[in-house]
Amino acid sequence: MKVICSGMPKTGTKTICQALRTLGYNVYDFEEQFWYLGDQLKKVLDEGWTNEEMRDLFEGVDAVTDVPGCTLWEEILTAYPDAKIVHMERESDEEWGKSFDKQMKTIRGNIFMRILVLLSPTGRKLRQFFNTTLRCQASNMHFSPLFNRPVNVSFAKTRYREHNANVRQSAPKDQILFFKHSDGWDPLCKFLGQPVPSTPYPHRNKGGEIVEELVAESYVFVQIKKEVQMSLAAFVLAIGLIVYMFML
């Protein structure tokens, strides 16, 4: 592990993920953490861990962004003491709260995604993992794609403030960059000892648009859609057999 991004979701985690990938890092964002490490991470978050388990978990991973990795930044740093920390915050906790609330509403409002998650084993597993990571970023908050449960934004903002305060107080001063995406490549590349790319600095998930992209293109949802198709095919076959039996 070379880079730990400690910024909470809605601080530009998808943007920093793309930036680090452009710089050549093998980055585990939320999607990769679920797909490759989901069972182990859920066990870690529910039962605890050792430094050896944390090192084994992220072996071969260069950087981690988004939940649950960002909330485990101290534990990952203990396992990888030479790692550098990139921390992002919004201009205010009010701005962050509005963005977080909008993202949750975008997720809940995507009916197609909710149906897919309901009908697929991988989807149900994703929902459980999402619930676990949501508790990490907002304590006892719970999300279900089946119901329009409101997000407790005030509670989430409190957790956001506590997380940022802990990073600022506890992170080694010589290993952390307090980064603003508006500053672009220069401070990030200088901190990481990387050459500045010729491509513009990225900007992803503007206005929560990443949800539609994930449902359409993510390999997680490719698998979910395959499982749903198989389930529907089995259901149609079963109905056909029942009808056939009654016609005999």
For residue range 131-155, what is the model confidence (pLDDT) as tens digits?
777 766 655 444 444 444 556 788 8
pLDDT at 213: 67
- Residue 140, token pair as written in the block: 């006892």
pLDDT at 146: 44
What is the DSSP code (8-state) at residue 174?
Answer: G
Map tokens 């997720």 to a residue.
107
Count structural domains, the chain.
1
Distances (CA, A) of 84 to 4, 149, 168, 187: 6, 37, 14, 13
Greatest Cα-to-Cα distance within the chain, rounded to the nearest angstrom: 79
Q: Which domain holds residue 236?
A: 3-247
Per-residue pLDDT tens digits for 146-205: 444 556 788 889 889 999 999 999 999 999 999 999 999 999 999 999 999 999 999 875
- Residue 204, token pair as written in the block: 């992803």
Around Cβ 12, how many Cβ atoms within 10 Å?
Answer: 25
CATH code where residue 183 lies: 3.40.50.300
The structure's pTM equals 0.83
Q: What's the Rg (C-alpha) of the chain? A: 20
| Region of poorest pLDDT, from 69-73, 82-86, 201-205 | 201-205
